[in-house]
């Protein structure tokens, strides 16, 4: 059996509303409006967003056209996850102040992105970039929306434009690396992640992890192990880094090093059937068959339909001449994947050892039809 392919988990950092919280407030229509707005802002600073909305609503009742207060209400609603009201507030600001609405368009675009309305988000970000062609975050945010749509080439174009405007825009560099990774352009992905790492940017942990993935895919397993190790140093509970480091140890046939990492994965993520399977496979390679069966069983306990665990456990049961249990596991594997050629072959072998030649021949014939590598050519 082959080692499972490396897990892919590309981190995406969303351009957050936080960068827009400092929009200057206009002159207020009355002292009462100003006082209510200040009270709302104080509640925002303390994270009391519901109270903030209450104060902003009172201020808006006194001056329904105060777009700055409506803007702050939109932000508060966003943090309350009241996205409909956030969209409504930002839309009102865009109507009231069409020439100074870049922040509201950006924020509405972010809410649309969060809700999966990517085309609406892209439309808003496009207006943002037209109103302010030097606004790096506008291009970066549109790039993210393109990314979520799976339009990676357009995303790369936007990230590159953001980087051209602001070479220190690390989130754009990092996200561009993610797009290259998705497009299997591993060398360019590695270049972008390396830039993030050398800058010691906030995205360094994710960049190290993703660069490790990229090195895995170009089969530079030792460099991948180095990156996953650095990821773990910076984030000791990063179970995916442990898992992927273990897979790269397996690719180097260093199963003794893989097992402690997989044990750590199981400690951190005890309901992960793949970790049990991969540790079982490592024990299998080391000919510690009893422990391998135990781990395959652990994977099956979590996921009764874990195909590879059923298949591998069935083979080991057959090796131990536990033919009844082997037949149960291999039959279940075939039920889950009716075209699993090798499962038919080995079930046929078990039937033969059990003396059921008719069923053995039927399984051999089916394995041959499906192209099992174990079957002798005619």
- What's the mean pLDDT in 208-236? 98
- Mean residue pLDDT of the chain comes to 91
pLDDT tens string 230-283: 999 999 999 999 999 999 999 999 999 999 999 999 999 999 999 999 999 999
Q: Look at residue 7 in the predicted model and tell me its pLDDT.
A: 34
**Confidence check: pLDDT of 1 > 60:** no
- Cα(64)–Cα(97) distance, integer angstroms: 13
Q: Look at residue 362 in the predicted model and tell me its pLDDT.
A: 97
pLDDT tens string 148-186: 999 999 999 999 999 999 999 999 999 999 999 999 999
Confidence of residue 27 (pLDDT cuts 50, 70, 90): very low
Q: Look at residue 2 in the predicted model and tell me its pLDDT.
A: 29
Contact 358, 350 (CB under 8 A): no
Domains of the chain and CATH, by start: 7-15+30-137 (1.25.40.10), 295-378 (1.25.40.10)
Which is nearest to 2 in space by CA: 353, 182, 251, 178?
Answer: 251
Q: Look at residue 378 in the predicted model and tell me its pLDDT.
A: 52
Q: Look at residue 6 in the predicted model and tell me its pLDDT.
A: 33
Contact 16, 214 (CB under 8 A): no
Least confident of 3-17, 170-184, 302-316, 347-361: 3-17
Q: Look at residue 30 in the predicted model and tell me its pLDDT.
A: 62
**Confidence check: pLDDT of 22 > 60:** no
pLDDT tens string 28-82: 456 788 899 999 999 999 999 999 999 999 999 999 999 999 999 999 999 999 9
**Confidence check: pLDDT of 214 > 60:** yes
> Token pair of 182, please?
């998705």
Contact 128, 105 (CB under 8 A): yes
Residue of 100 and 363 predicted with greater confidence: 363
Q: Look at residue 377 in the predicted model and tell me its pLDDT.
A: 59
Q: Look at residue 15 in the predicted model and tell me its pLDDT.
A: 41
Three-state SS annotation for the chain: CCCCCCCCCCCCCCCCHHHHCCCCCCCCCCHHHHHHHHHHHHHHHCCCHHHHHHHHHHHHHHCCCCHHHHHHHHHHHHHCCCHHHHHHHHHHHHHHCCCCCHHHHHHHHHHHHHHCCHHHHHHHHHHHHHHCCCCHHHHHHHHHHHHHCCCHHHHHHHHHHHHHHCCCCHHHHHHHHHHHHHCCCHHHHHHHHHHHHHCCCCCHHHHHHHHHHHHHHCCCHHHHHHHHHHHHHHCCCCHHHHHHHHHHHHHCCCHHHHHHHHHHHHHHCCCCHHHHHHHHHHHHHCCCHHHHHHHHHHHHHHCCCCHHHHHHHHHHHHHCCCHHHHHHHHHHHHHHCCCCHHHHHHHHHHHHHCCCHHHHHHHHHHHHHHCCCCCCCC
Percent of the chain topping pLDDT 70 = 92
This prediction has a pTM of 0.85
Contact 15, 137 (CB under 8 A): yes
- What's the mean pLDDT in 109-115? 94
- What's the mean pLDDT in 349-377? 93
**Confidence check: pLDDT of 134 > 70:** yes
**Confidence check: pLDDT of 142 > 90:** yes
**Confidence check: pLDDT of 18 > 50:** no
- What's the mean pLDDT in 82-99? 94
């Amino acid at each position: 059996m082959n080692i499972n392919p490396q897990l892919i988990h590309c981190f995406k950092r969303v351009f957050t509303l936080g960068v827009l919280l400092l929009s200057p407030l206009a002159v207020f229509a009355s002292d009462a409006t100003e006082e209510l707005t200040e009270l709302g802002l104080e509640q925002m600073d303390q994270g009391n967003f519901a109270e903030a909305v209450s104060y902003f609503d009172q201020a808006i009742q006194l001056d329904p056209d105060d777009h700055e207060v409506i803007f702050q209400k939109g932000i508060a609603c966003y943090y309350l996850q009241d996205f409909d009201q956030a969209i409504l507030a930002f839309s009102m600001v865009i109507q009231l102040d069409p020439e100074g609405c870049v922040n509201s368009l950006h924020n509405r675009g972010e809410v649309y992105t969060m809700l999966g309305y990517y085309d609406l988000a892209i439309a808003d970000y496009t207006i943002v970039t037209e109103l302010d062609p030097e606004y790096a975050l506008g291009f970066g945010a549109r790039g993210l929306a393109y990314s979520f749509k799976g339009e990676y080439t357009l995303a790369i174009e936007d990230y590159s434009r953001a980087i051209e405007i602001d070479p220190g825009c690390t989130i754009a560099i990092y996200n561009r690396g993610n797009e290259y990774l998705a497009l299997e352009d591993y060398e360019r992905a590695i270049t972008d992640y390396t830039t993030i790492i050398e800058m010691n940017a906030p995205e360094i942990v994710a960049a190290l992890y993703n660069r490790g993935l990229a090195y895995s895919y170009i089969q530079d397993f030792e460099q991948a192990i180095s990156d996953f190790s650095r990821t773990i140093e910076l984030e000791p509970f990063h179970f995916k880094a442990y898992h992927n480091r273990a897979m790269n140890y397996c690719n180097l046939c260093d199963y003794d090093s893989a097992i402690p990492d997989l044990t750590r994965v199981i400690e951190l993520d005890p309901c992960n059937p793949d970790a049990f399977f991969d540790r079982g496979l490592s024990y299998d390679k080391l000919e510690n068959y009893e422990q391998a069966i135990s781990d395959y069983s652990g994977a099956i306990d979590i996921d009764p339909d874990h195909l590879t665990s059923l298949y591998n456990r069935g083979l080991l049961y057959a090796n131990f001449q536990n033919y009844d249990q082997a037949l149960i596991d291999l039959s279940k594997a075939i039920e889950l994947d009716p075209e699993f050629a090798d499962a038919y072959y080995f079930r046929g072998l078990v039937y033969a050892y059990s003396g059921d030649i008719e069923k053995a021949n039927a399984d051999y014939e089916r394995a041959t039809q499906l192209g099992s590598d174990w079957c002798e050519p005619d």
